[in-house]
Amino acid sequence: MSYLFSSESVSEGHPDKVADQISDAILDQFLAYDEHARVACETFVTTGQVVIMGEVRSSEYIDLQAIARNTIKKIGYTKAEYQFDGDSCGVLTAIHEQSDDINRGVDREDDEDQGAGDQGMMFGYATNETENYMPVSLDLSHLIVSTLADIRREGKEMTYLRPDSKSQVTVQYSDDGTPERIDTIVVSTQHDEFDDDDERMLATIKADVLNILIPRVKAQIKSEKVLKLFDDQIKYYVNPTGKFVIGGPHGDTGLTGRKIIVDTYGGKGAHGGGAFSGKDSSKVDRSAAYAARHIAKNMVAAGVADEMLVQVSYAIGVARPMNIYVNTYGRSRVNMTDSEIAQRIEKLFDLRPKAIERQLKLRQPMYLETAAYGHMGRHPEVVKKTFTSRYHETKTIDVELFTWEKLDRVEDIKREFAL
């Protein structure tokens, strides 16, 4: 008997994602001028107001207010009628120096012995149901809201769109865990009040979602097995409340780290509970979660299993993880137990925090791009990023994004598992 599974995503204009992007833009600015900066930055946004809080240890000074305003404007909050815009919102800051009691557990005389910046457990997950080894329900949810944002920025169609939006995709699976079809798609998008008749306005938005948005989404899908999931029986819910004019931070308070399931695997696998945005890579909440994804993705790509969950855990101030746990959900392709697979992973991958930083190049200003549309399943690439500051020279840096998505250990894994 088949079953249904759902995942959601939100656009960069969602208030929680606005907060995430401000936090990661601040982190990137610090790293651009001080690669050794330690940053734990939280952002809170509401009607006409931004509050930036956290702990920083750095030799450099940056203009937090300018970074927040520029980030908000790039997202698209540029009009006073939104009740939240980059030029007029208030920006309060409450940043202080990182605790010496935390720092003493991280810094070591030998960099390779750098301790974990906190305790906790982190998970990585991969499945071969999509080309990027992500759950198809989440992959499609991301694609829907990112395509909606593309349409909004182009300004040629659906010109009533505002920055805030959400999507949700429900997929029907067979008993053996194979996606069979898409059952339901939900799209909620903030919009201008472009018609005095609410029913007529909603009918226009529904028609545009079906005739403009969904065809553009499907045109970007390269996988035939994913395209086959679309049929004429899909149930569509568009702005189910009937109206979505009030949105963004004016409609709902936003806070860094409140979309951790959107950021990872859409409810598939597991999550250790730690958020990513605003944290430098000494915080294993972020760096070890990336490392676990890198392991799971390369293991599935190598053919060890069709699906894999990897857990690592740490004690604050200790370099080596407390454990490595593997679950292949009965879908292993090698004649080994999951615990034996975990032992091979420990042999193949150095999971000390400093080794993760080095291998995945996590001291680059690479994080703003992660703060919307998911940290996992993205395309690794090198881009030029330019940073300006009233306190420093302008810098243009080649930055390698999404290094944890590289399939650079597949051959090593195949050799280890004789595949």
Annotated binding residue at 167? no
Q: Annotated binding residue at 79? A: no
- Partners of 311 in the beta sheet? 123, 325
User: Has 279 been labeled as part of a binding site?
Assistant: yes
Give CA–CA dist 53/41, Å, rounded. 6
**Helix, strand or coil for residue 358?**
helix
Show the tokens assigned to 258. 């409140």
67 contact partners, CB below 8 Å, separation of at least 6: 22, 25, 26, 29
Please check if 244 is assigned to a binding site. yes
- Which whole-number Å values give the CA distances from 332 to 265, 299, 304, 351, 416, in the listed order? 20, 10, 6, 23, 15
258 is known to lie in a ligand binding site: yes
Residue 400 assigned as binding residue: no
* CA atoms of 265 and 263, how far apart (whole Å): 7
Q: Would the annotation count 259 as a binding residue?
A: yes
Would the annotation count 14 as a binding residue? yes
Determine whether the annotation assigns residue 349 to a binding site: no
Triad 365, 370, 373: Cα angle to 5°: 160
Query: Is residue 80 marked as binding?
Result: no
The strand ranges marked E within 58-178 are: 90-97, 120-127, 161-173
Query: Phi/psi zone of residue 115: left (φ > 0), alpha (ψ -120 to 50 degrees), beta?
Result: beta
Check whether 166 is labelled as a binding-site residue.
Answer: yes
Dihedral, 53, 54, 59, 63 alpha carbons, nearest 10: -20
The answer to whether 413 and 419 have CB atoms below 8 angstroms apart is yes
For 314, the 3-state DSSP assignment is: strand
Any known ligand binding at 88?
Answer: no
Binding residues: 14, 16, 42, 55, 98, 164-166, 243-244, 252, 258-259, 275, 279, 283
Binding residues for K(+): 42
Binding residues for L-methionine: 55, 98, 252, 283
Binding residues for Mg(2+): 16
Binding residues for ATP: 14, 164-166, 243-244, 252, 258-259, 275, 279
